Homo-oligomer: A and B are copies of this chain.
Amino acid sequence: MSTRDRILHVTSQLMQRQGYEGTAIKQIAKEAQVALSSVYHFFPRGKQELAADAVRHADAHFAGMLAEALASEDDPADAIVALARVVADYLRDSDWQDGCPITATALETAGRIPEIQAAVEEAFERWRGLVAEKLRTTGIPEQDVKDLAYTVINTLDGAELAATVSRTTEPLEIAGRHLARLINSYITNRADVP
């Protein structure tokens, strides 16, 4: 793992746990076992550039995990349940620290640091795209697919927050079940709900 990657990895990890303002560059350097000057060597524009790149780094990593979970089941509804379970396991195994890697940063910087906000927006869009791709294998109309992808990602995100705060995987398990039910309602009962 290159020095640059180590910095990005530690940054995204710390920012996901402590947020943007709560994470100091000196702490990043220390935990990545890297000289402070090295951080500025790779990210000369400072903290904002580093944070934006860390969001993109986390985006790629999380998208991989998401794609793998979705591919583990043929049926889209089952795939979403699997996704919720994977995310829940990951969260529990990290002692309730590693949930969605960008939520905290996203909230803190929204409307204040455009560079980071843009990176966050791209990440969410990519994740929704992966979910939509899976849902498209059903016969669900394209507009409904797009809407469902929104709710799948947003619900998992919200459930992950609740799970982190209450230190239980329950919110995520419930969310998985509900999302599967919602998706199935678009497949099996398309006629009876407007």
Contact = CB atoms under 8 A, between A and B. Distances in A.
B22 A108 contact: yes
Interface in A140-186: 147-148, 150-151, 153-159, 161-162, 164-166, 170-171, 174-175, 177-178, 181-182, 184-185
Contact of A103 (B96, B112, B117, B161): B161
Nearest to A23: B21
Contacts of A193: 181, 184-185, 188
A110 interface: yes
Nearest to A148: B178
Contacts of A95: 111
A19 B111 CA distance: 13
Secondary structure of the A side of the interface? helix
B165 A121 contact: yes
Interface in A1-47: 17-22
A106 B165 CA distance: 7
A124 interface: yes
Count of this chain's copies in the oligomeric assembly: 2
A102 B188 CA distance: 38
Given A95-B111, A148-B178, A154-B162, 20 more contacts: A19-B104, A104-B107, A106-B161, A106-B164, A107-B161, A110-B164, A124-B165, A153-B162, A154-B159, A154-B171, A155-B175, A157-B157, A157-B158, A158-B158, A158-B159, A158-B161, A181-B193, A182-B185, A188-B193, A189-B189
**3 residue pairs, one from A and one from B, having the closest CB atoms:** A158-B158, A154-B158, A21-B22
25 contacts: A19-B21, A21-B22, A22-B22, A96-B110, A96-B111, A97-B111, A103-B161, A107-B161, A108-B108, A121-B165, A121-B166, A124-B166, A147-B177, A148-B178, A150-B170, A150-B174, A151-B159, A151-B178, A153-B158, A156-B158, A157-B157, A185-B185, A185-B193, A188-B192, A189-B189
